[in-house]
Chain A
């Protein structure tokens, strides 16, 4: 049912549309809905039979929702839920627009949806402009809340919510920040703010944080101020205290204020403490949205499970680790995965200490790789991943079904499917790359970094080529497939042709070192960051633009954005206030928030985090935090050498 253009519209059966006029009662002059419905259009049995494929109509359940778009069009959202026996049919959504002239439903594709996303649930559906929600809602997607009894087996038992992408026609359980154990419906408290209201919440605790940000809190709701101030009584506060005011107390702190204070705490451990203070604070903290990500931890490698919390600099044990028996971690990868590796142990695995998930990794490659050329010169290579921290400098868990790693000092990517494969399948990128300029083994092109970006795996070579591997799912209903494999490499960005090096440049090469990183920016762009370290032979140091100098070593950063359509790198001069943390094993861009309290990350300075060993070479255990402002000459290393 929807109210549109002064009429109440209802949809029934196969998609028949009815309109009810709003009239005035003859006697009371009160507005009323006429009980006489006009059928606007009728979808015939025959038509409906073929609308979603042959015999589809009898093999699936179809639910219809009416939504008024932000462009004031009347949309019907059809949810197709195949019956249990219709194994070949996919669950999906279609959107139609009511064409009042021809009296027909016309198909609406993702493009025509513009910047709108649709929320559907039985009691409340709405189309919203995604621009109002700062990235928490994506255009062209349908967010549904009440996937109930018809749930198929592969659907997570504790989720009734999901997102359907109209563009890729894929469906995934649990939207951003949605997870719960009860049935749900959308609830829109007011314009500009959204929240999830739970019908039958099984827990007495407050509902989880609303999936979408409220308007920025600090100056709340100026537009709400009354324009008529003749009586000059100020509006009552948004959260009035309970009437009998025995001295107000901190445990009465309004939840919105508690949430704001909570989000200004940059340290993960402080946030945990805050949530455990009292009931009211806890509610405020759990409801707070958007919540800036806490600052990362600095994990101390090769020693038993301690990390340094960046805001306060304290050393703390890694949670979930039993300190007496704990294995040292060797690398930290994206999404909280750590490499637990024993040279002569029984098994190697990656582990997420926060979720406690662990994945065993195979100990060998399916063919010989020459991963140690750098140290040993040319040889036949080896099957072994040993030493894993060097051969597998970066591991990405693409999905529960596919783990991918770049292999150092080679142009191979290795991947395996947890629980299925007993070795890493190696996919070489050599065939698509030219081989000019590979004069010496140590100048040989190699993969420097890999990144999972928009569902594809990108690999960056030392010649600044960008290669892309598609991820092929056998089963295309579900993006998280157990049988995902990587496709062959294709060029996304080709190397800029280099002239042969002059003797001077070759000599120069010995005194400098370049490394490159792939980072996905906060605004969703793929960035390459080139870091040049120059070692000055006489120990003198120079400070140039955007460079930092420590003990005779000059470090410079340049940032490029991948122009995938144009196949080129575009240099970027501003990071728009993002803080970028770099290391070989994981890199991340986080938005800099004014309240995160750490002067090193304050203002609009763009910071880089890098394990740089002043002596050069691969030294993983002496981390140095380096903060560089990309446009200012002011640059300073800090927090040197924790170990």
Chain B
């Protein structure tokens, strides 16, 4: 876009960029396209820097590491944080409530929480990443290793050598 020269076109482009009204297409690893506002997409620092570097906004961004279900959920977060204002106390409270409900839902489905965490890390969505890692840490707090394994559905895979070291750590600290 705006390849035609002329100050007017450039100005229009700048204005469009400013307003965040451009639409950006994100494609999941299953090939499903999601159209989001630029403001929403800019929640991801990875996409943000590519857009700023003048990348092909038109062609869209394939995300080979994110499946459709996860991407839909991530976009839900980005829409909320990217498209809405958070200037007043009420608006901030609404956003905090959204975060709380959002993470509570993920907390109930640990496998999905994993996908969302990985996507947030991959796309560098800092707010979402902080939210999910805090949820993980909260789940771990006060639990025994066995309880943690149960909570996250992890199979026991420690070697005899690991066990010995852990035993040593436990008695020493």
Return the chain A residue nearest B138 by Cβ: A597
Bound form: Cα–Cα A272–B172 in Å: 11
B62 to chain A, nearest CB (A): 6
- The interface residues of chain B lying within 8 Å CB-to-CB of A251 are 154-155, 157
A544 to chain B, nearest CB (A): 30
A602 to chain B, nearest CB (A): 13
Interface size class of A (residues with CB under 8 A): 35 or more
- The interface residues of chain B lying within 8 Å CB-to-CB of A354 are 172-173
B107 to chain A, nearest CB (A): 13
Bound form: Cα–Cα A417–B6 in Å: 84
Bound form: Cα–Cα A355–B63 in Å: 49
A229 to chain B, nearest CB (A): 4
- B161 and A204 form a contact (CB under 8 A): yes
B64 to chain A, nearest CB (A): 7
- B170 and A237 form a contact (CB under 8 A): no
Bound form: Cα–Cα A273–B149 in Å: 10
Return the chain A residue nearest B115 by Cβ: A248
- The interface residues of chain B lying within 8 Å CB-to-CB of A355 are 172
A31 within 8 Å of B (CB atoms) = no
The proximity string for A residues 589-619 relative to B, scoring 1 for CB distances below 8 Å and 0 otherwise, is 0000001010000000000000000000000
Bound form: Cα–Cα A600–B141 in Å: 17
B65 within 8 Å of A (CB atoms) = yes
- The interface residues of chain B lying within 8 Å CB-to-CB of A156 are none
- Chain A positions 279-327 with a Cβ under 8 Å from a chain B Cβ: 279, 281-282, 311-312, 314, 319-320
B166 within 8 Å of A (CB atoms) = yes
- Report if A319-B137 is in contact (Cβ < 8 Å); known contacts: A249-B154, A250-B114, A279-B158: no
- The interface residues of chain A lying within 8 Å CB-to-CB of B140 are 261, 265, 270, 273-274
Contact of B56 among A225, A232, A270, A279 (CB under 8 A): A232
A326 to chain B, nearest CB (A): 14
B50 within 8 Å of A (CB atoms) = yes
Contact of B173 among A218, A272, A276, A314 (CB under 8 A): A272
Q: How many chain B residues have a CB neighbour from A under 8 Å? A: 56
Contact of B121 among A237, A247, A312 (CB under 8 A): A237
- A273 and B144 form a contact (CB under 8 A): yes
The proximity string for A residues 255-285 relative to B, scoring 1 for CB distances below 8 Å and 0 otherwise, is 0010011001101101011111111011000
B5 within 8 Å of A (CB atoms) = no
Bound form: Cα–Cα A268–B170 in Å: 11
A149 within 8 Å of B (CB atoms) = no
Return the chain A residue nearest B117 by Cβ: A257
B125 to chain A, nearest CB (A): 10
B122 within 8 Å of A (CB atoms) = yes
B136 within 8 Å of A (CB atoms) = yes
- The interface residues of chain A lying within 8 Å CB-to-CB of B62 are 232-234
A227 within 8 Å of B (CB atoms) = yes
- Chain A positions 355-413 with a Cβ under 8 Å from a chain B Cβ: 355-356
B3 within 8 Å of A (CB atoms) = no
- The interface residues of chain B lying within 8 Å CB-to-CB of A274 are 140, 145, 148
B159 to chain A, nearest CB (A): 7
Residues of chain A touching chain B, judged by Cβ–Cβ distance below 8 Å, are: 203-205, 218-220, 222, 225, 227, 229-230, 232-237, 240, 247-251, 253-254, 257, 260-261, 264-265, 267-268, 270, 272-279, 281-282, 311-312, 314, 319-320, 354-356, 595, 597
* Contacts A/B (CB < 8 Å), 25 sampled: A218-B130, A229-B50, A232-B61, A234-B62, A234-B65, A236-B65, A237-B122, A240-B65, A248-B118, A254-B121, A261-B136, A261-B140, A268-B173, A270-B142, A272-B173, A273-B145, A274-B145, A277-B145, A277-B154, A278-B155, A278-B158, A279-B157, A281-B154, A319-B170, A319-B171
